[in-house]
Amino acid sequence: MKDDPIKQVETDVMHEQKHRDGIPQIAMGLFLMFIAVLMQQGRGSFLGIFIVFIPLVINILRKRFTYPRVGYAELHDKAAFRKQGLWLVAGLLLSGLAVMLAVQNHLLPPSVQVNLHLWALAFIAFIVLALLALNYMRERNSILLFYAGFILLFALAVWLFKLSNDVTHLILFCFGLLNFIYGSTALLVFIRKHPVLPDED
Amino acid sequence: MKTKAVTDSISLEEIDRVIHEPARLNIMLYLYVVEKADFVYLVHQTRLTRGNLSVHLQKLEQNGYVEILKEFVNRIPHTLVRLTRRGRIAFEQYKDNILSVLGKI
């Protein structure tokens, strides 16, 4: 048998529930712009905390815009649990990194400090790439590959060309802005295409 | 004759008629791939009218294939539907049977 049609429906449902409305792109865009501004202000060590708020923002926006239009479907427990686990691990790793940066910036004398900035970026890139790869394996959504490609190129550019902090943060901010614009456009199209269905009797 | 051979080897009686109806098959398929879904989701996916969907869900519920959970969210009724264990097994059985029949034609 070529393709399992049930598996295909499962993939379609996952795609429809997660990406069609553009809300993940909006949340990701807001997050990237936010951390770019924080890092520019020298408060990058706080960014680890904010990644855990992405699912929260997505959920709030979905309750407002998506579910009244196309309904709500809960994916199987196992998948949801695994996904929550991934976010938790990512949040913990980034929080660990935040603590390291905070310790270095505030407690260690400058003579002992090493350039953790590049390592921090590489570490973040690795975590985000791992999350994207795992999600792509499950969802087969090409936008995830686009994200992964950007992050890989971005991390390589920072390492190879020794981009200054200002340029790095500007690129991050612009990518966030692009995501936000793309997501907002997708959401507007989605809202126009799917009117709110009347409440149940 | 080929048709005769098919009916000889596989009893078409084994095809579950409750699931075999196209609208119900569609509902079962969408419920099979998720843990649970609300009424709006099923209306949207199956393109059935609310009345039609209700009738088919009742039929599936009577056969123990789905469980219908009613709740109120901000004083608005909200219906969640999930496939029961029996429904899941019946759907898998239906899939195997129908593939078996079609495979021998």
A35-68 per-position pLDDT tens digit: 888 878 876 656 656 777 788 888 899 989 998 8
pLDDT score recorded for residue B22? 93
A8 → chain B, closest CA residue: B33
B47 interfacial to chain A (CB closer than 8 Å): no
- Exposure of A158 in the CB half-sphere (CA atoms within 13 A): 22
Q: What is the ipTM score, two decimals?
A: 0.79
The chain-wide mean pLDDT, for chain A, equals 76
The first and second tokens of residue A199, run together, are 């409440």
Inter-chain residue contact A73 with B44, CB threshold 8 Å: no
- Chain B residues whose CB is inside 8 A of the A63 CB are none
B47 → chain A, closest CA residue: A70
| Tens digit of each residue's pLDDT (9 = 90 or more) over A106-126 | 666 666 555 666 666 667 677
Q: Confidence band (pLDDT; 50, 70, 90) for A1? A: very low
Cα–Cα distance, B40 to A87 (Å, whole number): 29
B79 interfacial to chain A (CB closer than 8 Å): yes
Q: Residue A77 is nearest to which of B35, B37, B77, comparing CB atoms?
A: B35
| Tens digit of each residue's pLDDT (9 = 90 or more) over B45-65 | 899 999 999 999 999 999 999
Highest-pLDDT range among A3-7, A40-44, B4-8, B23-27: B23-27
pLDDT over threshold 60, residue B4: no
- Chain B residues whose CB is inside 8 A of the A10 CB are 33
pLDDT score recorded for residue A8? 78
Question: Of the given ranges (A45-54, B21-30, B67-76), which has the lowest mean pLDDT?
Answer: A45-54
From the CA of A41, how many Å to the nearest CA of chain B?
A: 42
| Residue among B21, B69, B28, B33 at smallest CA distance from A73 | B33
Inter-chain residue contact A9 with B39, CB threshold 8 Å: no
B81-87: average pLDDT: 95
Inter-chain residue contact A200 with B79, CB threshold 8 Å: yes
B37 interfacial to chain A (CB closer than 8 Å): yes
| Residue among A44, A19, A17 at smallest CA distance from A146 | A19
Cα–Cα distance, B91 to B95 (Å, whole number): 6
From the CA of B77, how many Å to the nearest CA of chain A?
A: 6
B50 interfacial to chain A (CB closer than 8 Å): yes
pLDDT score recorded for residue A35? 82
Burial of A196 (0-12, 13-18, 19+ CB in 10 A): exposed
- Chain A residues whose CB is inside 8 A of the B29 CB are 6, 9
Angle between helices B50-62 and B22-32 (to 10 degrees): 80
pLDDT over threshold 90, residue A100: no
Q: Confidence band (pLDDT; 50, 70, 90) for B98? A: confident
Q: Confidence band (pLDDT; 50, 70, 90) for B2? A: very low
A79-88: average pLDDT: 64
pLDDT score recorded for residue A105? 66
